Structure 1
Amino acid sequence: MTAVLPSAYTVRPPAKEDAQALLELVSDYNTPVIGFADYTLEDAEDQLTEPGFDPSTDGWLVYDGSRLVGYGAVFGKGDHRQVELDLVTTDLAIETYLFERILGRAEEFARMYGHPSIQLDAVNYQLDAARRDRLAGCGFEPGTTFHRMRIDHAGPVAVPEVPAGVTVRRGAPDEAGQRAGHAVLNDSFKGQFGFTPRSFEEWHAAQENFSAFDWSQLTLLELDGEVVAIRSCTNQFVEDENCGYIGRLGVLEKARGKGLAKFLLRDQFALDAAAGRAGTILHVDTNNPTPALGVYLSVGMQPVLVMEVLRREVTA
């Protein structure tokens, strides 16, 4: 049965100009659940302009008069075997309506990319048990759990010693460095939950569009003349928490066990402390096939927020 909205509601595609209204909607939803917005105006603008996201087909805004009361969107990367949904509203009728739109678009993705089925993922704060139950009622099952890890910097942090034989390349202003980083990223994250390899062109466009990132925040480690590790940082937690953020940290399998990940972590802690940041944040999949969580705990990071990924198979 197709969900129908009350006649007073209107629906239209989103645009960058809707970022402020989206920020207010997300803040009004998140604050009662976790105590803060966990979202900024730049986050909203980046989301609405993400390369590959077509607002005319992949997003919906629901208005009650002039007030935004619902937002739904579906995002795909690479070969679209796995896509992600975003759905924000406090009205269950609107939620049902938007979920049907999202599910229909996910089915279209499966047909467009020639897959018999694809995975549709939803991220949920663990504290939001009511939403988890509603998603379960729509066929979603537990996928994995992510911890937001944080370490606070009360003062200067010692700069770590560079591991023997390693060359540190700070920043990647040229295409050669960017391509090297992209290759390590795809290789080191291969097989991890929710990671979709992207072409260099698609990945580069996404990085260029992300307002909290610039190429000076990409750090590469070389061993015997080969790039074997990457750390990609952003400013997305500076505005609301005055924290640095490690978006991706990857080490090629053949270079693991040499202390490269711990060096990259401690090096970023020192950089963030020197910049006056209150701390450093990252996210880790607790089911990561590498012992990443143990590494982060060993350098003093602690979990501060838990998010679940719920997954549903969608057939073409």
Structure 2
Amino acid sequence: MSLPAGYTVRPMRQEDAALIAERSGVYTAALLGFPKHSPEDVANYLRDPGIDLATDAWVVLGPDGDFAGSATAVPITGGTHLNLDILSENPAVLSWLLDQVEHRAAEVARHEVVVRVGVIRQDDRLAAVVAARGFAVGTSTHRMRISFDGPIPPPAVPEGVVVRRGAPDEASRRAAHGVLMEAFADQPGTLPRPFEDWAASRESRSTFDWSQVTVVEVDGRAVGMTECNHNFVSTDNCGYVGRLGVIPSARGRGLAKFLLQNAFAVDAAAGRTGTILHVDAGNPTPAVALYTNAGMHPDLTSDIWTRTVRNDRTWSSSTPPHRLFPA
């Protein structure tokens, strides 16, 4: 399909971060009562070394030159999955952007790629568009939050556990990454990137530094970790737990509870009024119960719609892929 008459497209640029954050904030606040993303979160995403803005991101402009929509389609987990973020109030623009995403998915797929898009549960417009394109809900994610009304005492360290605060060198960073790889091995769509890519992505973020990593060890081996950042400080004055993982052989010892309570205490001591994290409702570990029992509650739920695209797909000559640059 083509864009509506008078609409144009260009590649996304890093300097678009403020515009996209503003438009996304208006759109999501109308649905939720608050913006889903902070400006820092959007800027970090666009500067991440894992995204190629020339091939994986689009900005659509209306006849008056004003913003009409955007999308990013970022391959992850070695190209087996492609994460889509899409924004427009115009269903025709949404459909056109989905065309570009599916063409891009077919290009990057070795055999097939799972395209995933998170849709706020209140967003009936986007849900209808992706459903009409053959997407189906695979799982849901909750944004969990806890608010503080005073200091949070640091939790007692479990017996036999050594706590390492910060990851100042490559050895400590590799230990933290190794925990993530083992902890999320049964969730292939959420595996972290290879170490070098993972570390580079963290270095690119304005809201993160390596002092925000905490690793717990048992018998000299790293078995659990948290990776926190300041993504929601400017908008919510909340800390954010980007990752929390414990390897399977070390579960059942209270390490996840310790790491979570430790994050609360660190945030409260820094003057934050709460802590936020995201969790997959289909997580095979009892993560949702852990967070709920700790006093967290969901303030946003997104359904994760998925569709499998194969690289042997035959495209109609009437709908050629739109290329931002010559092939």
Structure 1 stretches (4+) deviating beyond 6 angstroms?
none
Task: Decide which of 53, 56, 76 is 1:55's aligned counterpart.
Answer: 53
Aligned to 2:259: 264
SS, match of residue 189 in structure 2: coil
Unaligned regions of 5+ residues in structure 2, if any?
312-327
Give how far 1:8 is off.
2.2
What is the aligned partner in structure 1 of residue 40 from structure 2?
42
Find the aligned partners of 1:149 and 1:197 in 2 and give their Cα distance.
21
Q: Could you tell me how far 1:122 is from its partner in structure 2?
A: 0.3
SS of residue in 2 equivalent to 1:273: helix
Aligned to 1:207: 202
Secondary structure of 1:90 counterpart = coil
Aligned residue for 2:79?
Answer: 80
2:271 maps to 1:273: no
Task: Please say if 1:250 is aligned against 2:245.
Answer: yes
CA distance in 2, matches of 1:258, 1:313: 38
- How far residue 197 of structure 1 moved from its aligned partner, in angstroms, is 4.0
1:139 aligns with 2:146: no
- Work out whether 1:130 is the aligned partner of 2:125: yes
- State how far apart, in whole Å, the 1-side matches of 2:294 and 2:44 are: 31
Shift of 1:193: 6.0
Gap runs ≥5 in structure 1: none
The 2-side partners of 1:150 and 1:196 are apart by 23
Q: Is the CA contact 1:25–1:69 (under 8 Å) kept in the aligned structure 2?
A: no
Partner of 2:2: 4
- Partner of 1:194: helix, strand, or coil? helix
Paired with 2:140 and 2:5, the residues of 1 have a C-alpha distance of 39
Matched residue, 2:160 = 165
How far residue 78 of structure 1 moved from its aligned partner, in angstroms, is 3.4
Contact 2:95/2:129, CA 8 A, preserved across alignment: no
1:42–1:211 CA contact under 8 A, matched in 2: yes
Contact 2:138/2:306 (<8 A) preserved: yes
Match of 1:231 in 2: 226
Letter in 2 for 1:107: A
Q: Give deviations 1:153-176, integer Å, cap 9, x for gaps.
A: 100111111000111000001000
Matched-pair identity in %: 44
Deviations 1:64-83 (A, max 9, x none): 23311110110112311011
Partner of 2:182: 187
Question: What one-letter code is carried by the residue in structure 1 that aligns with 2:43?
Answer: E
Cα distance change, pair 226–83 in 1 and its aligned pair in 2 (3 A): same
Q: With the length of structure 1 as denominator, give the TM-score of the two structures.
A: 0.95
RMSD of the alignment, in Å?
A: 1.3
Q: Distance in 1 between matches of 2:189 and 2:77?
A: 12
Match of 2:26 in 1: 28
Residue aligned with 1:164, SS = coil
2:218 counterpart letter in structure 1:
L
Match of 1:28, SS state, is helix
Task: Name the TM-score, length of structure 2 as normaliser.
Answer: 0.92
